[in-house]
A and B are shown apart, each in its own frame.
Chain A
């Protein structure tokens, strides 16, 4: 495993079973007191496809992918958002987070949002407050269609490991980070239709729009940092030390006497 975390929590989602009932979204909103104008999880409606009457339609449940190589934790200046070493969940320490939103922009899955009231970033936490007392995440527990599964991929006997083994087809919505690495999301979609290669045609609240997971880009801070500050700092440090080195050397050579008064 890329991360060697003790557990590798993730989801297996059976596309053929999601009926877009949205019980998962309501359950999550209640369990995690999600603000009214935001949602941590959602279902992407692929839209009605085909020619009447040969129609098809699929629903793709969605939340934070708890990636193996999260693009979001890369950009957090303070490390307030991090991948937990024990369970692999990508979390936000909201006491450290200042809500600047770089991570929100960096996520190709749009899984994060800023809670304006508290000024911090929020996202799916894998309901670890439930997981650690032996319950399933709220969305998984209540999934009426039986689409959402959650468990430890490092455990070959877990429900998700078994589901992967027995699935007819498995896809993962990989995205590329600026450093070239793939995000390696920890949500595996099984029994997806053949045409579901890439993602979604509706946004989180069901309005139709075309979307694919965009590769995350450098933030303003990083652009400035990489192009201006770091070279500048390097140059200035070299200059400052260089000048002093010369001075110091002169001092050594010519002896302190000249400067004594």
Chain B
């Protein structure tokens, strides 16, 4: 047979890609001129353009395949350390994020009531003028602190922060406190850095506490874990749920929620008691070991068994195995063991466990460095003085929370209470607080109280739905962003196609807004390319020159200076005098979490490999392959309540109630129920995601860890009954 498969017209099939057809009267997207100039695109408009993914925080390098002016396929960039030629499901679906029919492509101004979703299209002039006017009005009437600013951390964050601080407001919300504040602060206290780097090549024994790497995917790290398992290294995985990572690990410990610190303290107890720690390392590079030694004598495996539900024999055995691996052992901090108020103690215990094994330099390294020193910065004036305290209580209530992380849920609570003052406006960028903050009712209540809300986003997500003005940002495939240093390279995000409709990059939006707010000096770049060129200046190249490969290399540094930890003592601080001075415990200790009442469950939430947080559920490619969002329940717990698989149940917490379908499975402790986060969207503008599943944020009670500001997401207890 001579004939093979016929060519297909990309646009025709199954409504899969909206493309030009769904955009109404827009001109067909043209390929970015820069790519053409760089020789990446042939005269037909076909080629591969290197850029970066933004479907999650890992920001894998991407090679975007362009044909006839449209993105047709995304591949992992083999030259990027975070992807190494692969992309996860979300990365692969990225073009559907750009071509989503529910994209916001024009500035919108609300005409109906807030939450009705009624908007009218406006010009950029009108929309930006309106936002600036409202913000300046609020500044004039109530002071700049009456304006809240929030953004999920991303590459243009420094420029967003210029808006915030240039304006003069201290009120800054990021998602960090919903994620890993406990981990960051614990590392800062112990190692003097936010997060050391892990070297999977040297690991022979790995303990994962939470950190469901096969479902909370960070492409290169997930691949590294699977490679590690193939080498025969032992992986112990601790989680109340039998996740996909549990199925790959050598051993799964179904720990009782809230007791991770007991496990790790018992590990330390065994290792110290039996002299299995790295004495020379401890003596040379740590402080406070003796105090630790005394403090952990009470944390025996037998004690831990009663608390965690993991047998003393198991704990002892694992401690022996872990210690036997010596510096090839690693206890992984995870992102978000920030699930209980005692999670800060868990994080401290984990960092100290690593320290006494002396795995520094083997499985743990100094972080690859932001490389910020190598890049140029854009000149800006000093920030104006801010006198008002932050609504989130940092640092006056929470002295150890870094300012740039903040405590998002406290900002919301403070704003709602009007304590110590009432805010009147909120500017949100690339974030969905309506869905991601715990206790959604409170967030909606706050939205009702504010005078003015503007959101910068790419799609009609829940927060956009409840805003007064929506400013359309170009998707990551359509814009330039500041450079992202990873390892020895600074990676470029460049447009693969020209932005659809009137969408614009964040850099442009921030500058336009900033200029109208009278703080244009903080945006001293002519356009996106100029911004990047200023960053590239010390490296002696410009953005057109690096467009071909998508990165610039930092010159090889010869930093032979003696490494010290950035702590007061210059060593690893097992005993933290800093914490002590702040009124907190200087050593990790057991702090018992609240107990369940009868009939209650621990509500656990987590991630799946097919979605990211609260923003991807409208992506049809991901929706196609997602599992139906249901609440997990153990068969024993289910049968006691007459609940069968796929039944609908009502789940109630102290702050809210939802109905959701049930997945009866042995993969979870009988005292726990589990939900995927990110469902239960309120925006009818998300035509694929609306009506799918229910939101766990409705149930979550706000609990803030006094040390790190972490939101204790799993400390919410619920009851479940069949409807």
Contact = CB atoms under 8 A, between A and B. Distances in A.
B89 interface: yes
B76 A142 contact: yes
Given A21-B214, A33-B10, A82-B1, A27 B87 contact: yes
Interface string B207-244: 00000001101010011001101100000000000101
Interface stretch (A87-95, A98-106, A178-186, A212-220): A87-95
Interface residues of A, number: 54
A31 B74 CA distance: 9
A159 interface: no
A96 interface: yes
A31 B230 contact: no
A205 B93 CA distance: 17
B74 A30 contact: yes
Contacts of B246: 55
Contact of A16 (B219, B230, B244): B230
Contacts of B252: 53, 55
A139 B690 CA distance: 30
A42 B541 CA distance: 45
A115 to B, nearest CB: 8
Given A22-B610, A23-B86, A26-B92, A93 B1 contact: yes
A8 interface: no
Contacts of A128: 4-5
A196 B12 CA distance: 40
B13 A26 contact: no
B665 interface: yes
A143 B8 CA distance: 25
Interface in A38-91: 39, 48, 50-53, 55-59, 79, 82, 84, 91
Interface residues of B, number: 58
A259 interface: no
Given A48-B667, A142-B75, A26 B226 contact: no
Given A26-B92, A57-B242, A144 B86 contact: yes
A46 to B, nearest CB: 10
Contacts of B229: 16-17
A20 interface: yes
A59 B226 CA distance: 14
B82 to A, nearest CB: 12
Interface stretch (B336-344, B419-427, B618-626, B708-716): B618-626
Contacts of A242: none
A141 interface: yes
B25 interface: no
Given A82-B1, A206-B627, A52 B222 contact: no
B230 A17 contact: yes
A55 B230 contact: no
Contact of B6 (A22, A94, A138): A94
Contacts of B14: 33-37, 117
B91 interface: yes
Given A36-B14, A142-B86, A22 B73 contact: no
Nearest to A25: B625
B244 A20 contact: yes
A56 B73 CA distance: 35
Interface in B185-217: 214-215, 217
Contacts of A92: 5
A144 B88 contact: yes
Nearest to A51: B666
| Most chain A CB inside 10 Å of its own CB: which residue of B87, B89, B91, B230 | B89
Contacts of A206: 627
A26 B622 contact: yes
Contact of A21 (B1, B75, B217): B217
Given A22-B89, A33-B16, A96 B3 contact: yes
A23 B88 contact: yes
A22 B625 contact: yes
B487 interface: no
Contacts of A48: 242, 665-667
B247 interface: yes
Interface string B237-268: 00000101111100010100000000000000
A29 interface: yes
Contact of B223 (A27, A30, A117, A144): A144
B143 interface: no
B75 A30 contact: no
B389 interface: no
A164 interface: no
12 contacts: A17-B226, A19-B609, A34-B16, A53-B254, A56-B247, A57-B244, A59-B244, A95-B6, A128-B5, A141-B76, A144-B222, A145-B214
What are the 3 A-B residue pairs with the smallest beta carbon separation, nearest first? A35-B14, A19-B214, A21-B609
